[in-house]
A and B are shown apart, each in its own frame.
Chain A
Amino acid sequence: MKFFNFLVIAFFALASCTLDKTDYEAETGLEIPELSEFKEAVSFTSGNYKVSIEALNGTFYKGYNELRLKVLNAQNNQRVNPSAVTFLPIMTNSDNVPSSCPHQYNLEYDAANNYYSGYSVFTSESDASGNWKLYISFTVDNQKYEINKQVTVEKQSNKNLNMTAFTGKDGEQYCIALIAPQKPKVAENALIAGIYKYNKPTTAAGTFPDPSQFSYSEVMGYTLKLDPRMPEPSMGNHSSPNNRDLTQQNDGFYHGVVNYTMTGNWTLNLILMNQNGLILKGTVVPSDFTPGVEGVKSELYIDTLF
């Protein structure tokens, strides 16, 4: 009998609740919906033609957006392949002053997939203080079509696709947007960023929208130095080893490596240097371990969270 009592005790003690093991896959996916599907975000109709722009999740987000543009014959829904497809996003603020953001003006035809690809790095969300309009032009049968439409730019809730815009020490306007990883892991993560620069117009403005007034380009041959740290005071300015600064690769993007040692809030402390090693923005952050004190951030940084 006694033994049975032991067994009963043992059984209940075992069955009582304790902490469950963490489902790690769910843990890292908790904050971040990983988007991989391109859906139509906006469509325009001009005469016989319908232009459809696809973006991830069918939404324009603040930050980097890869775009796929398709032109269809509105009557029979057949694809047409126009030439000279251009793309220009313009934001008009409450004072009616237009500005743009880094974007690809001349879209490239992707023959394999039969669409025109480009990107846009929206620098703000659509709200009362400003809204975005896309200006598209293309040529079919030697006829040029120009259309525009207001679009909504949503908040990017995935902080791993954050961006920052600033003026460098050279007086130029820069924009750095994170492109990957969408869904970081506690691991070595290939970090990809786009670095863009506003090309100051050299000529007076022509008819609105004059692309020469709103020209951006990828910066070439710069270096983005990286020092990731956890800003949480209790983490005492914790950092990770084996990170690699971002340098430009053939795809035009800047590639580096960030190691995240645990989930949570991270700050990518950055220093942007031009081809000559001149610092355009950013400061070296202290590397001391300072428990209880929130880590000092570089004057150029992007926060991430996963």
Chain B
Amino acid sequence: MKYFIIALFCGIALTAQNNHAHHDSIKNLEEVKVQNAAKKKIETEMKMAVSVDEFLSSSDNISFIKRGAYAWEPLLNNMSTERSQVTIDGMHIFGACTDKMDPITSYVESNNLAAIDIKSGQEGSLHGATVAGSIDLKRRSTAFSLEPKWKGTYQTGFEFNNKQFFNLGNVSFSRNKFVAEGSISYRTADNYFDGNNDEVKHSQYNKFNTSLGLAYKTSDLSSVRVDAIFDVAKDVGFPALPMDLWLSRALITSASYKQLFEDGLFRVVDTKIYYNAIEHYMDDTTRPENLVHMDMPGWSTTYGLVSKANLKKNSYSSEISLNAYDNLSIAEMRMYPQDRSNRTMFAFSWPWVTTRFAGLAMNNSWEISEKSQINMGGSLGVNYNYSKYVEFNWIFHPGASQEKTRFLPSLHAGYQLNIEQFNFSVGTGYGHRAPSVSEGYGYYIYNSFDRYDYIGNPDLKNEISYEGNASAGFKNDRFSIQGKVNYFYIQNYIIGRILSMGSPMNYQSVGVKGYTSLDYATLLNLSMNVSYDILEHLHWKGTLTYARGTDDKNGNLPFIRPLSYLTSLHFMHKNFGIQTSVNGDLEQINYSPEYGEDLTPAYTIWNLSADYTFKINKLRSTIQIGAENLLNEYYSTYADWGNIPRMGRNIFTSLKVSF
């Protein structure tokens, strides 16, 4: 089971999704979420109780910028979150922190998710304009049942390195016309210790998350559903940054109506309205080395609508999605002078920036024959920005537009061919994206990685991506191999460049960078997955990834993963399982000093875990014990902010009970 989770990520082909959608037993409306037919467990090969971040990191095309032990920023295809669409059940949510301390993935917990759906490149444009692709976090959604049914899971665990203690519980009740489900979780962790057994200060965290979902079947073929997630993180350390998080809160709510159709072209129409509010308060009072005390609160509020329709006729199937949202992002900074009787110094780092987006997207697929299939899709979005206090932006860009409307088209096409045990695919895509709030309107946003203050430019051009991708694979009973490649040529690539004017505002800073467009940048991602069943109960798997990113002067782009490898063995017999893996990166040769990178040496990590499944009365229980970084290697990766060391040896234990 666990064995295939990563493979599921590799199968980012949209068609799999579509096909599943229609094989549901429509009449009984068993699945409220038709899309979720493909079950994916939120656990990795090594570990059954994982955080969302750990789960995501088990995917090939996801890597992470890590600023500590919490809230890792996911990079999709080696591109940062501005270039990807991260959504929760298709809902757009925007972090409230200018320093990216709160990627959307930090506002959910593994026990309120059912799956994470990753699409590479323009295939992800169904969720909005993107370059890198989309990451959709799919919430748990229990199906209606004929008989009243209670289900529940409780997970607890302790990790020794950072004394992480977690309790996750979720429970659901379902009847033929009604479903109620909820989850609650609490994680707390102290500072972790690196491979030299040194404490990494300010790496603690505390997270509380709860969710609630109620669904009601309004007719045989329709249902309504309301959902809410509430997440609080408090006293979270970010060792790589000059400040920590005092408090962040997210309230994520939605109400949806879903209609199924027994016949006709339309099969499912699912319409959802949503609202989410995020607040994020940084805290630098725990860092005595700070010269200036500064308050940096941020708020992000989004209203939106997402409506999806699935169509199918004979060998043709299609998914249409309408997306609209309104987001207001506000971030402030208030610096306190050393003589507190003096006036405080205030500025907006996001000067009340409104983003409105409306887009219509479509993915179509035709099964030309048993063996081959064509996918084609496109979207057109309108993106509108408004900066309320545009005078902040005018300081660096006099006369810049206060309002800006952009049209964001996207197209993609692909062809898949399966010949006996071989499979091939080729695809291409074209798409625009609008600059993010920070890139467009950010004002003195301190980046502690390259130690520059960043200034946005409201009149940046759209980033335009041209991509190509291909894959080839072979699979038989025992052996499978799959190779994938994608290449992005990104015109008007947005990145920070040193400005000759202005001087830093944040005292740690060394200068000012402005977001500017490079003529182009290119990115190449390669991956190779191999698996082999050595014996009936012994499986081997290996993964190799490589990426290369260069700018228009052939210089290196930052945060590009060097050659990395993962090899794992998994033995499972009856109720007992044992797995071990070795992974690592080679030396990061193609680093970018311009963006604060230095050469990151190679590292290798060895992990080991064992689990045992048993029954207490009627409770299915699994215990697991394992160790990550068994050899206590001292290392940091290419994407560890400020080269903070990663966790040393970590022994973890967990128990999972479900009924």
Given known pairs A188-B391, A263-B347, the reply for A3 and B502 (CB within 8 Å) is no
Q: A10-B210, A18-B297, A22-B346 are in contact. List 10 more A-B contacts (CB 8 A).
A: A3-B180, A6-B184, A187-B391, A187-B394, A188-B395, A242-B395, A242-B396, A261-B395, A261-B505, A263-B344
- Is B230 in contact with A27, judged by CB distance below 8 angstroms? no
- Is B394 in contact with A235, judged by CB distance below 8 angstroms? no
Residues of A within 8 A of B (CB): 2-3, 6-7, 9-10, 13-14, 18-19, 21-22, 24, 27, 31, 185-188, 230, 232-242, 259, 261-265, 287, 289, 291-292, 305
- Is A263 in contact with B345, judged by CB distance below 8 angstroms? yes
Least CB separation from B337: chain A residue: A232
Closest Cβ of chain B to A268, distance in Å, is 15
A139–B505 CA distance with the chains assembled, in angstroms: 58
- Residue-by-residue, is B334-370 near A (CB-CB < 8 Å gives 1, otherwise 0)? 1101100011111110000000000000000000000
- Is B335 in contact with A262, judged by CB distance below 8 angstroms? yes
Asked if B610 is at the interface (CB within 8 A of a chain A CB), the reply is no
If over half of A's interface residues share one DSSP class (helix, strand or loop), that class is named, otherwise mixed; here it is: loop
- Is A6 in contact with B291, judged by CB distance below 8 angstroms? no
With a cutoff of 8 Å between Cβ atoms, the chain B residues found around residue A2 in the complex are 171, 182, 184
In the complex, which residues 377-410 of chain B have their Cβ closer than 8 Å to any Cβ of chain A? 389, 391-392, 394-396, 398
A237–B502 CA distance with the chains assembled, in angstroms: 11
Asked if B232 is at the interface (CB within 8 A of a chain A CB), the reply is yes
With a cutoff of 8 Å between Cβ atoms, the chain B residues found around residue A263 in the complex are 343-347
- Is A22 in contact with B503, judged by CB distance below 8 angstroms? no
Least CB separation from B251: chain A residue: A14
Least CB separation from B182: chain A residue: A3
A166–B503 CA distance with the chains assembled, in angstroms: 30
With a cutoff of 8 Å between Cβ atoms, the chain A residues found around residue B212 in the complex are 3, 6-7
- Is A21 in contact with B346, judged by CB distance below 8 angstroms? no
A263–B406 CA distance with the chains assembled, in angstroms: 32
Query: Of the candidates B249, B279, B345, B504, which one forms a contact with A262 in the assembled complex, judged by CB atoms under 8 Å apart?
Result: B345
Closest Cβ of chain A to B432, distance in Å, is 30
- Is B291 in contact with A287, judged by CB distance below 8 angstroms? no
- Is A234 in contact with B291, judged by CB distance below 8 angstroms? yes
A-B contact pairs, 19 of them (CB 8 A): A10-B230, A13-B232, A14-B230, A19-B295, A31-B343, A186-B395, A187-B391, A188-B391, A234-B335, A234-B507, A235-B507, A239-B503, A242-B398, A261-B505, A263-B346, A263-B347, A265-B345, A289-B510, A292-B507
Least CB separation from A188: chain B residue: B394
Top-6 shortest CB links A-B: A187-B391, A264-B345, A241-B501, A262-B347, A291-B507, A241-B502
Asked if B332 is at the interface (CB within 8 A of a chain A CB), the reply is yes
A32–B490 CA distance with the chains assembled, in angstroms: 49
A234–B345 CA distance with the chains assembled, in angstroms: 11
A24–B347 CA distance with the chains assembled, in angstroms: 9
A262–B507 CA distance with the chains assembled, in angstroms: 14
With a cutoff of 8 Å between Cβ atoms, the chain B residues found around residue A233 in the complex are 338
With a cutoff of 8 Å between Cβ atoms, the chain B residues found around residue A287 in the complex are 503
With a cutoff of 8 Å between Cβ atoms, the chain A residues found around residue B502 in the complex are 239-241, 261
Closest Cβ of chain B to A24, distance in Å, is 6
Given known pairs A232-B338, A234-B338, the reply for A241 and B332 (CB within 8 Å) is no
- Is B292 in contact with A238, judged by CB distance below 8 angstroms? no
With a cutoff of 8 Å between Cβ atoms, the chain A residues found around residue B342 in the complex are 232, 264-265
A158–B72 CA distance with the chains assembled, in angstroms: 47
A158–B549 CA distance with the chains assembled, in angstroms: 54
A238–B499 CA distance with the chains assembled, in angstroms: 15
Given known pairs A6-B212, A10-B230, A22-B332, the reply for A241 and B395 (CB within 8 Å) is yes
Given known pairs A2-B182, A19-B295, the reply for A236 and B504 (CB within 8 Å) is yes
Query: Of the candidates A18, A234, A235, which one forms a contact with B247 in the assembled complex, judged by CB atoms under 8 Å apart?
Result: A18
Query: Of the candidates A21, A187, A237, A264, which one forms a contact with B332 in the assembled complex, judged by CB atoms under 8 Å apart?
Result: A21
Least CB separation from B214: chain A residue: A3
Asked if B330 is at the interface (CB within 8 A of a chain A CB), the reply is yes
Of B348, B394, B444, B505, chain A has the most CB atoms within 10 Å of the CB of: B505
- Is A18 in contact with B281, judged by CB distance below 8 angstroms? yes
- Is A292 in contact with B291, judged by CB distance below 8 angstroms? yes
With a cutoff of 8 Å between Cβ atoms, the chain A residues found around residue B391 in the complex are 185-188
Asked if B192 is at the interface (CB within 8 A of a chain A CB), the reply is no
Asked if B487 is at the interface (CB within 8 A of a chain A CB), the reply is no
A18–B212 CA distance with the chains assembled, in angstroms: 24
With a cutoff of 8 Å between Cβ atoms, the chain A residues found around residue B291 in the complex are 234, 291-292
- Is A234 in contact with B292, judged by CB distance below 8 angstroms? yes
Closest Cβ of chain A to B636, distance in Å, is 26
- Is B335 in contact with A18, judged by CB distance below 8 angstroms? no
Asked if B238 is at the interface (CB within 8 A of a chain A CB), the reply is no
With a cutoff of 8 Å between Cβ atoms, the chain B residues found around residue A9 in the complex are 210
Asked if B299 is at the interface (CB within 8 A of a chain A CB), the reply is yes
A114–B396 CA distance with the chains assembled, in angstroms: 43
- Is A262 in contact with B343, judged by CB distance below 8 angstroms? no
- Is B343 in contact with A264, judged by CB distance below 8 angstroms? yes
Query: Of the candidates A241, A264, A305, which one forms a contact with B499 in the assembled complex, judged by CB atoms under 8 Å apart?
Result: A241
Least CB separation from B345: chain A residue: A264
Closest Cβ of chain A to B654, distance in Å, is 23
- Is A238 in contact with B347, judged by CB distance below 8 angstroms? no
Query: Of the candidates B299, B335, B509, which one forms a contact with A21 in the assembled complex, judged by CB atoms under 8 Å apart?
Result: B299
Least CB separation from A20: chain B residue: B297
- Is B398 in contact with A188, judged by CB distance below 8 angstroms? yes
- Is B251 in contact with A262, judged by CB distance below 8 angstroms? no
A135–B228 CA distance with the chains assembled, in angstroms: 76
Least CB separation from B294: chain A residue: A234
Closest Cβ of chain A to B90, distance in Å, is 23
Query: Of the candidates A13, A187, A264, which one forms a contact with B395 in the assembled complex, judged by CB atoms under 8 Å apart?
Result: A187
A63–B502 CA distance with the chains assembled, in angstroms: 30
With a cutoff of 8 Å between Cβ atoms, the chain B residues found around residue A24 in the complex are 348, 389
Closest Cβ of chain A to B13, distance in Å, is 37
A22–B299 CA distance with the chains assembled, in angstroms: 11
Closest Cβ of chain A to B231, distance in Å, is 10
Least CB separation from B169: chain A residue: A2
With a cutoff of 8 Å between Cβ atoms, the chain B residues found around residue A27 in the complex are 346
Closest Cβ of chain A to B598, distance in Å, is 22
Of B338, B344, B347, chain A has the most CB atoms within 10 Å of the CB of: B347
Least CB separation from B277: chain A residue: A14
A7–B444 CA distance with the chains assembled, in angstroms: 38
Least CB separation from A25: chain B residue: B389
Closest Cβ of chain A to B173, distance in Å, is 10
Least CB separation from A234: chain B residue: B292
Closest Cβ of chain A to B110, distance in Å, is 18
Least CB separation from A187: chain B residue: B391
Given known pairs A185-B391, A264-B337, the reply for A19 and B281 (CB within 8 Å) is yes
- Residue-by-residue, is B468-488 near A (CB-CB < 8 Å gives 1, otherwise 0)? 000000000000000000000
Given known pairs A6-B210, A10-B251, the reply for A238 and B394 (CB within 8 Å) is no
Of A186, A187, A259, A289, chain B has the most CB atoms within 10 Å of the CB of: A186
- Is B251 in contact with A264, judged by CB distance below 8 angstroms? no
- Is B182 in contact with A186, judged by CB distance below 8 angstroms? no
With a cutoff of 8 Å between Cβ atoms, the chain B residues found around residue A235 in the complex are 292, 335, 345, 505, 507
Given known pairs A31-B343, A185-B391, the reply for A6 and B504 (CB within 8 Å) is no
Query: Of the candidates A3, A238, A265, which one forms a contact with B504 in the assembled complex, judged by CB atoms under 8 Å apart?
Result: A238
Least CB separation from A189: chain B residue: B391
With a cutoff of 8 Å between Cβ atoms, the chain B residues found around residue A188 in the complex are 391, 394-395, 398
A152–B278 CA distance with the chains assembled, in angstroms: 54
In the complex, which residues 497-547 of chain B have their Cβ closer than 8 Å to any Cβ of chain A? 499, 501-505, 507-511
Least CB separation from B332: chain A residue: A22
A242–B391 CA distance with the chains assembled, in angstroms: 13
- Is A289 in contact with B504, judged by CB distance below 8 angstroms? yes
Closest Cβ of chain B to A3, distance in Å, is 5
A145–B315 CA distance with the chains assembled, in angstroms: 104
Closest Cβ of chain A to B186, distance in Å, is 11
- Is B503 in contact with A237, judged by CB distance below 8 angstroms? yes
- Is A241 in contact with B389, judged by CB distance below 8 angstroms? no
- Is A234 in contact with B337, judged by CB distance below 8 angstroms? yes
- Is B251 in contact with A305, judged by CB distance below 8 angstroms? no
A217–B142 CA distance with the chains assembled, in angstroms: 85
Query: Of the candidates A14, A239, A264, which one forms a contact with B346 in the assembled complex, judged by CB atoms under 8 Å apart?
Result: A264
